[in-house]
A and B are shown apart, each in its own frame.
Chain A
Amino acid sequence: MMKILWKLFVLPFFPFLLFAQTYNISGRVGDKNNAALIGVNIVLTDGSSGTASDNTGHYSFNNLKPGEYTLRFSSIGYKSELRKVAISDKDIVLNIVLAEEAVEAGQVVITAGKYEQNMSELSVSASVMPADVLERKNFISLEDAVRYLPGVNMTDDQLSIRGSSGYGRGAGTRVLLAIDGLPFYTGDTGQIIWESIPVTDIERIEVIKGASGSLYGSGAIGGVINIITKKVSDKPVTYIKALAGGYDRPKYKEWDWSGGYRYFNGQVISHSNSIGNFRFTASLTRLEDESYRQSSFYHRYLGYFKGNYSLSPTSSLNFIFNSMNQRNGSFIYWKNSRNALVPPDADQGERIKSNRYMAGIDYKNIISKDFSLNIKAGYYRTYWEDQTESANNSAANVYRGEIQSTLSLNSSIVLVSGVEASLSDVQSNLFGSPASGSFGVYTQGDIHFDIPLLVSAGARFDYNKLDTLNAFSDFSPKLGISYSLSDNLKIRSSIGTGFRAPSLAEAFTSTYSSGITVKPNPNLKPETNTSFEFGFNWNILSSVNLDAAVFQNEYYDYIEPGVDTDGKITFNNVVRARIQGYELNPVFHVMNGLDFTMNYTYLWARDIEKKKALKYRPRHIASASVTYMFNSFETGADFRYWSRVEEIDDELVSLGLVPDGELRDNVYVLDLRAGYDFSKLRLPLKLTLTADNILNYYYVELVGNLAPIRNVTLSAEFVF
């Protein structure tokens, strides 16, 4: 016990007691053509540190004490490499060439368990989208990217993993989104503001689909998306991206409201550098979109800063700052199907102004090879106002803090424990001036046995107080296993519970807009769920991998908006829901340079009491992607399909609020892309051309909202 107390309370503040002279390991990661590989995960296998290659393929580990280290290099599409190095009295330079190999999903590093581990060790289903995929598809907003993740579908801006969410405008999310582990949802509506995250600064997107409540608490009831930002380079690197594009004109002349093409453009400038022990990346993004719809334009500025200050050989401070300033139009529903790209007359000319700022700090201290400590604090301020007749506005502050320890009790047990607290306050003419607070304590142990079995067991206790609502607490346990039946076949299973506290918006909204009155519900309770899944990952051949899972989620007191007896919209604990389904995710490495991936999800999402489908849940979700790379040229296609949703907000249609709102169909979206990297010609330039919705397929995700029509984007990226 004394040893643990020593580790917890003494060593964090006097780390110099442990170490003295230190050295660095650095180098470059490239492919067989010597082109830089960006975003390659590089970890010290003792678990003490991890990083990723930067935009020039370089990486570094600093302040390492003399000794032997094993580095693992891994990246989707490449064969992992293990390299041992010994540091005696000088820095080490280690350059690596990774060979292509499409199928090695298990080597992908993920932080689902709040520490870096191989995806194959997880007892829950997860997937990763790395930076190179984000770049080659020219995504402007994170919201566009997550539509391509397996098992995920979006209804307008609301994310659903395995059917966890339908649609509630301005209501909270059932998926927790975190940036480098810091939760990132607003204090008033509990929403994810996708557009405020600069895509070019993302190293990878991790999606955790199974039981996550035991580690992440409220908000993770439907899964977790963790955005891992790019590591800060200690070498001067400047990155510039410019993009421009336009929307095609619609086929139907009734829809051609502007009589011309509509354009968008964007610019990103980013610089990384170091001053002594301080390394940083700062970026500024400007985006402008005229939009294919009337009154749906935006002008957006994103600021981003990430800093790393090395306090000692084993401790560091990481800073992150993110801002978004945006002016945009408001398009809630179409006027009617003949005016599908035009809002109703009453909504014409509405504007929204929003300013959002997030700041976070993360103190990491590797006290020993067995014990590390993380202390995180975050602040997120959001302010927005609109120019509707209600002149809605809201200012919200969220303060968060977390202390987490990672302890290797011996070589086979990793124990992650922590405490977390948050406070929110709101000033709004929509929600009033409510405040909320929450506190959570969690622990999870991953136990490796001599046989290839990993058992993951954990629990979390949460206490929440939402202004005048009754305080409530929740206990969320989880049990999971991961077992290797052979070198090529791993099975996993997990069961756990979760809960979601109502957002302030769900409990306290009082407004009127577009003919709809929303009233508060002071009796709202948290919703809870139990989730179960069983899955396997099978390397069928050296070039074929299949990941599959069956899952069942039971939801209780599910919060949904509905029309009350007085005709006003309110949020209620009305639904007892069951969501069952399965997923198939095969990956084919057809030949060198040619890869093919597919995802299929079957969803059976039912309101058990009403015996009908939950709103906005397609029964079939599928996607496919093919990529061909030849030297510096690459091309590919991406296809998405989801079946016609059975249930929508019928009230909006029957009341005549959304004329022709019943229109919906199966969705087929095909995107094409091509890119050329000029770095072999000694030009630090990459050009990418994408054509999204090339078939110009007209579809809606949300009632009365036509999704983007065919559009083309050309981008140029410079790294020097």
Chain B
Amino acid sequence: MIKKIIFFLPLLLLIAGCDKGIAPINEVEETGFSGTVTFKGTWPADIKRTHIIVFKEPVNLASDFNILNLGYIGKEIPSGVPSDDYNTNQDTSYFKIQPGTYKYIVVAQSSTEKVSLERKDWKVAGIYYSNNNSNTPGTLTISENTMVKGINIICDFDNPPPQPPGGE
């Protein structure tokens, strides 16, 4: 009996020791925001890519257009579409949106093939405004485990919004 125990003990320990280490973190309630981007007018011909881009602080200087100020870059919106429904949890290209306050949410378009973080490569096509205040960009606060809906942005190509400094 003792011999059997001695023989099988390492085997049992081996089996008991299996599948340890790091494990998936349980999915929590969704955190992020969703809405619709609506495009008006004719799409510019030289546009190569269109994204929703979320900044933590307003872009008051060209240098504010940098990775430390970025909170989120959405998936590429296909050129020519009249509208696009988005959800930051399903459409993230590079950044997972974190809980926090974001003060400048835009739809930006680039004429470069590659994603660039140079301010000069981008034009702002639409800005998120809250409470129908079209003078000041809206502030969006995202709390942990909360999905903010209805963050809609209108891009009017015939009447583009004010551009932050540093563009061409």
Chain A partners chain B: yes
- CB-contact partner of A655 in B17, B19, B95, B115, under 8 A: B95
Cβ contact within 8 Å between A665 and B22: yes
Q: Give residues in B with beta carbon < 8 Å to A.
A: 14, 17-25, 27, 63, 66-70, 72-73, 75, 92-98, 113-117
The complex places the Cα of A225 from the Cα of B95 at a distance, in Å, of 39
Using Cβ atoms and an 8 Å threshold, which residues of chain A touch B22?
337, 340, 663-665, 698-700, 706
Q: Is A344 located at the chain interface by the 8 A CB criterion?
A: yes
- Residues of A near B21 (CB, < 8 A) are 665, 667-668, 697-699
Q: Which of B22, B63, B73, B75 has the most CB of A within 10 A?
A: B22
14 sampled A-B residue pairs with Cβ under 8 A = A251-B19, A337-B24, A389-B113, A515-B67, A563-B68, A566-B68, A567-B67, A567-B69, A567-B70, A656-B97, A659-B96, A660-B25, A668-B20, A696-B19
A659 to B89, CA, bound (A): 12
Q: Residue on B with the closest CB to A252?
A: B24
Please tell me if the beta carbons of B73 and A698 are within 8 angstroms of each other in the complex.
no
Decide if B25 touches A338 in the complex (CB within 8 Å).
yes
Smallest CB separation, A706 vs chain B (Å) = 8
Q: For residue B92, which residues in chain A have a CB less than 8 angstroms away from its CB? A: 344-345
Residues of A within 8 A of B115 (CB): 389, 512, 515
> Judging by beta carbons under 8 Å apart, are B19 and A514 in contact?
no
- Residue among B14, B23, B75, B117 with the highest chain A CB neighbour number at 10 A: B23
| Residues of chain A within 8 A of B18, CB atoms compared | 695-696
Which residues of chain B are near A345, meaning CB under 8 Å? 75, 92-93
B79 to chain A, nearest CB (A): 16
Q: How far apart sit A599 and B66, CA to CA, in the bound complex (Å)?
A: 46
Chain B, residue nearest A339 (CB): B24
- On whether the beta carbons of B66 and A695 are closer than 8 Å, the reply is no
Q: Knowing that A340-B22, A346-B94, A515-B67 are A-B contacts, what are 17 other residue pairs whose CB atoms are under 8 Å apart, sorted by A's residue number? A: A252-B23, A336-B25, A337-B22, A337-B24, A338-B24, A344-B92, A344-B93, A345-B92, A345-B93, A512-B114, A655-B67, A655-B68, A656-B98, A657-B95, A659-B96, A665-B21, A695-B18
CA gap between A517 and B98 in the complex, in Å: 20
Determine the distance from Cα of A671 to Cα of B113 in the docked complex, in whole angstroms: 47
CA–CA, A252 to B19, complex, Å? 9
Checking B67, B69, B116 against A563 with a beta-carbon cut-off of 8 angstroms, the contacting residue is: B67
Residues of chain A lying within 8 A (CB to CB) of residue B20: 668, 695, 697-698
Q: Are B68 and A567 in contact (CB under 8 A)?
A: yes
Do B117 and A567 have beta carbons less than 8 Å apart? yes
A346 to B24, Cβ gap below 8 A?
Answer: no
Of chain A, the residue at the smallest CB distance from B66 is: A567
B66 CB to closest chain A CB (Å) equals 3
B95 near A698 with CB under 8 A, answer no
Interface pair B117/A337, CB less than 8 Å apart:
no
Q: In this complex, which of A336, A344, A663, A695 has the most chain B Cβ atoms within 10 angstroms of its Cβ?
A: A695
A151 to B25, CA, bound (A): 32
Chain B: CB-nearest residue to A700:
B22
Question: Which 9 residue pairs spanning A and B have beta carbons closest together?
Answer: A515-B94, A567-B67, A567-B66, A698-B21, A567-B68, A251-B19, A656-B96, A338-B24, A697-B21
Whether the pair A568, B24 counts as a contact (CB closer than 8 A) is no
- Does A399 have its Cβ within 8 Å of any Cβ on chain B? no
Return B117 CB to nearest CB of chain A, in Å: 5
With beta carbons under 8 angstroms apart, the residue of A344, A517, A563, A698 that contacts B23 is: A698
Q: Mark A67-101, 1 if CB is under 8 A from B, else 0.
A: 00000000000000000000000000000000000
CB nearest neighbor in B for A568? B67
**Taking each of A252, A697, A699, which has the highest tally of chain B beta carbons within 10 Å of its own beta carbon?**
A697
Q: Are B14 and A657 in contact (CB under 8 A)?
A: no
Nearest CB on B from A100, distance (A):
26
Q: How far is the CA of A338 from the CA of B75 in the complex (A)?
A: 20
Neighbouring A residues of B113 by C-beta, 8 Å: 389
Give Cα A319–Cα B77 distance, bound, in whole angstroms. Answer: 56
The yes or no answer to A390 lying at the interface (CB within 8 A) is yes
Determine the chain B residues whose CB is within 8 A of the CB of A699 once the complex forms: 21-22
Q: Is A647 an interface residue (CB 8 A)?
A: no
By the criterion CB–CB under 8 Å, are A514 and B94 in contact?
yes
Contacting pair A336 B68 (CB below 8 A): no
Any B CB within 8 A of the CB of A10:
no
For residues 258 through 293 of chain A, which have their beta carbon under 8 Å from a beta carbon of chain B? Answer: none
For residue A516, CB closer than 8 A to chain B, the reply is yes
A46: Cβ under 8 A from any B Cβ: no
Interface residues of A in 213-255 (CB under 8 A from B): 251-252, 254-255
**A residues within 8 A CB of B66?**
566-568
Min Cβ gap A342→B in Å is 12
A93 to B117, CA, bound (A): 72
User: Is there a chain B Cβ closer than 8 Å to A694's Cβ?
Assistant: yes
B111 to chain A, nearest CB (A): 15
A344 to B94, CA, bound (A): 8
The distance from the CB of B114 to the nearest CB of chain A, in whole angstroms, is: 5
Cβ-defined contact, A517 with B24, below 8 A: no
Q: Which residues of A contact B68 (CB under 8 A)?
A: 563, 566-567, 655
- Whole-angstrom CA separation of A336 from B28 in the bound complex: 13
Closest CB in chain B relative to A483 CB, distance in Å: 44
CB distance from B73 to the nearest CB of A (A): 7
- Write the chain B residue with the least CB distance to A667: B21
What is the distance, in angstroms, from A390's C-beta to the closest C-beta of chain B? Answer: 6
A515 contacts B19, CB within 8 Å? no
Interface residues in A534-565 (C-beta closer than 8 Å to B): 563
Which one of B69, B75, B94, B114 lies within 8 Å of A657 (CB-CB)? Answer: B94
- Complex contacts, B72 vs chain A, CB 8 Å: 656
Closest A residue to B117 by beta carbon equals A517
- Interface membership of chain A positions 323-358, coded 1 if the CB is closer than 8 angstroms to chain B and 0 otherwise: 000000000000011101000111000000000000
- A517 CA / B121 CA spacing, docked (Å): 14
**Contact between B25 and A515 (Cβ–Cβ < 8 Å)?**
no
Binary flags per residue of A422-463, CB closer than 8 Å to B gives 1, else 0 = 000000000000000000000000000000000000000000
Residues of chain B within 8 A (CB-CB) of A515 are 67, 73, 93-95, 115
* Closest A residue by C-beta to B49: A389
